[in-house]
């Protein structure tokens, strides 16, 4: 992760945990900063992604597509299954909130496989996917946060983008 990403983490998280310490962030800018970040677009990813527009009829194909992408990227089998399952579940969840489908983008970079799910569904909860769900609640975003190395969520008035990273 680059220096700008680490600096942003210090601005947007009240507590910083490193390999051997746990302390409050002196650069934390509070809830207002987190709200501005949440409602802004994610920064563009370098390179040209593989892209697929999908509908509910194609959600099951996403797992197979990402399994192939994960093998090509050199992910370990547990990473490959985790990210493919997470993206498939997120795609299905996105379609529950909209009727016009979504877009899947996949980048294979030297240090990570990155997958992005976008749809017209709008999310207004800054802590979406961060709270433990009730036993009867299937929250794919919460699950993605448990199995992926980094999950980024942004939602604007035109829709929501969820970017998942699996480090190589």
Q: What is the model's pLDDT at position 2? A: 66
> In this structure, is residue 145 part of a structural domain?
yes
23 lies in the same domain as 81: no
> In this structure, is residue 11 part of a structural domain?
yes
- Per-residue burial over 102-140, b = 16 or more CB atoms within 10 Å of its CB, e = otherwise: bbbbbbbeeebbbbbbbbebebeeeebbeeeeeeeeebb
Low-confidence ranges of the chain (pLDDT < 50): none
Q: What is the model's pLDDT at position 93? A: 85
> In this structure, is residue 44 part of a structural domain?
no
110: domain CATH number is 3.30.565.10
> In this structure, is residue 43 part of a structural domain?
no
Sort strands 15-17 and 102-108 into parallel, antiparallel or unpaired: unpaired
Q: What is the model's pLDDT at position 97? A: 64
The rounded distance, in Å, linking the Cα atoms of 102 and 39 is: 19
160 lies in the same domain as 104: yes
Q: What is the model's pLDDT at position 7? A: 86
> In this structure, is residue 15 part of a structural domain?
yes
Q: How many structural domains is the chain composed of?
A: 2
Q: What is the pLDDT of residues 65-102, one digit of tens each?
A: 999 999 999 999 999 999 999 999 999 887 776 667 89
64 lies in the same domain as 34: no
> In this structure, is residue 96 part of a structural domain?
yes
Q: Residue 122 is part of which domain span?
A: 50-167
20 lies in the same domain as 63: no
75 lies in the same domain as 124: yes
84 lies in the same domain as 145: yes
The rounded distance, in Å, linking the Cα atoms of 70 and 80 is: 5
Give rounded-to-5 percent helix, strand, coil for the chain. 40, 25, 35
Q: What is the model's pLDDT at position 73? A: 96
> In this structure, is residue 108 part of a structural domain?
yes
């Amino acid at each position: 992760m680059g220096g700008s990403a680490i600096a942003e983490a210090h601005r947007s998280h009240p507590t910083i945990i490193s390999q051997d310490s746990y302390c409050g962030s002196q650069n934390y800018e509070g809830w207002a900063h987190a709200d501005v970040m949440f409602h802004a677009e994610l920064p563009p990813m370098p390179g040209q992604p593989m892209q697929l527009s999908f509908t509910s009829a194609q959600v099951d194909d996403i797992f197979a597509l990402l399994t192939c992408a994960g093998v090509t990227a050199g992910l370990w089998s547990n990473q490959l299954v985790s990210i493919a399952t997470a993206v498939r579940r997120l795609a299905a969840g996105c379609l529950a909130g909209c009727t016009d489908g979504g877009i899947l983008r996949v980048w294979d970079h030297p240090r990570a496989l990155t997958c992005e799910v976008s749809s017209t569904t709008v999310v207004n909860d800054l802590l979406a996917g961060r709270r433990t769900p009730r036993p009867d609640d299937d929250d794919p975003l919460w699950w993605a946060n448990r199995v992926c190395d980094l999950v980024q969520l942004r939602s604007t008035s035109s829709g929501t983008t969820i970017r998942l990273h699996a480090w190589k």
